[in-house]
Structure 1
Amino acid sequence: MNNIEDEYHKIIEFYPNAIVEKNCISQVKIPLKDKFFLKINFKNYPKKPIVNLISKDDRIYRKVDKIIPLLNRWEKKKPPSIVDLINEILTFINSLESKEIKIKKELLNGILALCKKQHPREILGLLRIINGIAIEYILPPGAITSKISGLFIPSRLGFDSTLNGSIHSHPSGNPNPSIIDINNVFKTKKFNFIVAYPYNLSSIKCFNNKGREIEFRILN
């Protein structure tokens, strides 16, 4: 059994609803919601496969090679399995559909401590979100903060689909977003936390990219 056959059998084992295209086992489609499919062409495996989200009529809806970390760091000499790739893509899609964010208590406590240390200056950072859980605080390169605002240059970070959240402090004590927040920091992130003075668990709010407040849960 060669690599492609082995990968195909793994796919069928984990995703029995997978559809083989053109009688070619290296081209499969995984049905998704709303009549969309995840289409994977791995005929050149262990080279990087071609992966797209397609519509029912086979039109490309979105290319995913630039938004999935596993594809970005693909190495021919040590390739991940196609099943692992599918799992990561589906996890990413599910995280986009999620309307609730969770954040680890240890991470949040560290951020609260940082806010207190930096006061009265703002803190500004990004959150790495995996499976709907904020697990890491990232300080953007070149971030500039003051007593009233914070700015950073997104292009200095490069693209990383897991950095789908932001967090910054409001030394003024107002936990609500400003127009500047909504038009800048919030614009490209799905989950946006504001930590207001006096920097405790009751002075934190979370908002979507349009500035609407959303629920969040703290995980022990």
Structure 2
Amino acid sequence: MSELLFFDVYVYKKPESIKSSTLHQQPMSPIREVLRRFGLFKEQGFSRVIITREVINSILDLGRDTYPREVMMFLGGRANSGVLRIDRLLFQPYEASPESAYARINFPLLTKPMGSFHSHPRGINRPSDADLRLFSKYPGVHLIISYPFRMQDIAAYDHNGERLGFEVAEK
């Protein structure tokens, strides 16, 4: 007898208390639309983003170690009770230059990235159009770190490219 395995698909839902006239809405992907129609699509909202110190330190080190090339990884964690907690990096093979990074995305079936991280070696941590396209494909938080790769050079964005705040936790 065969079994069907279903997994939840989450997408960040901007809290109603935050209004923006410049919010750039990305169209829902065809896969998400099909899942929504069958009741298998869930929207996951969160009001806080917490990133462990270990992840932050790894991001800072990776930015410095790969300079002048970009580095790209995905973020692992979970959303629970309105809090998105990032506690690990998820590696995918990628190609990078000083101008861009391209990942060959092939996660195991039950691995769900909760965002992404990449560097901007040229010193600007705002998302490009290519970054916004990547952000729209994954829920959660997306981090960009720019040269010279210090804590204050990390910026966080939601899947629409809106700036987010985040907290750093020891564990």
TM-score, length-normalised on structure 2?
0.70
Indicate how the Cα distance of structure 1 residues 51 and 167 shifts in structure 2: closer, same or farther if over 3 A, else same. Answer: closer
AA partner of residue 103 (structure 2) = F
Could you tell me which residue of structure 1 aligns to residue 26 of structure 2?
A: none
SS in 2 for 1:112: helix
Query: How many angstroms apart in 1 are the aligned matches of 2:104 and 2:58?
Result: 24
Q: Deviations over 1:156-211 (max 9, x none)?
A: 2244453121000000110100011111x212122100011111110111111111
Query: How many angstroms apart in 2 are the aligned matches of 1:51 and 1:148?
Result: 35
Q: Contact 1:186–1:192 (CA<8 Å) still a contact in 2? A: yes
Are 1:113 and 2:61 an aligned pair?
Answer: yes
- Of 136, 160, 166, the match for 1:187: 136
SS in 1 for 2:161: coil
- Ranked by relative contact order (alpha carbons within 8 Å, sequence separation 6 or more), the top structure is 2
Report the number of matched residues. 135
Query: How many angstroms apart in 1 are the aligned matches of 2:77 and 2:71?
Result: 19
AA partner of residue 136 (structure 1) = R
Q: Contact 2:117–2:143 (CA<8 Å) still a contact in 1? A: yes
Q: Contact 1:126–1:137 (CA<8 Å) still a contact in 2? A: yes
- Of 67, 73, 76, the match for 1:125: 73
- Of 185, 196, 212, the match for 2:162: 212
Q: Deviations over 1:101-136 (max 9, x none)?
A: 210012111220111011000110000022421111
Among the aligned pairs, what percent are the same residue?
23
Gaps of 5+ in 2: 9-36
Could you tell me which residue of structure 1 aligns to residue 96 of structure 2?
A: 145
Q: Contact 1:99–1:214 (CA<8 Å) still a contact in 2? A: no
More helix by percentage = 1
Indicate how the Cα distance of structure 1 residues 180 and 174 shifts in structure 2: closer, same or farther if over 3 A, else same. Answer: same
SS in 2 for 1:61: coil
Q: Contact 1:101–1:133 (CA<8 Å) still a contact in 2? A: yes
Gaps of 5+ in 1: 1-46, 53-58, 64-92
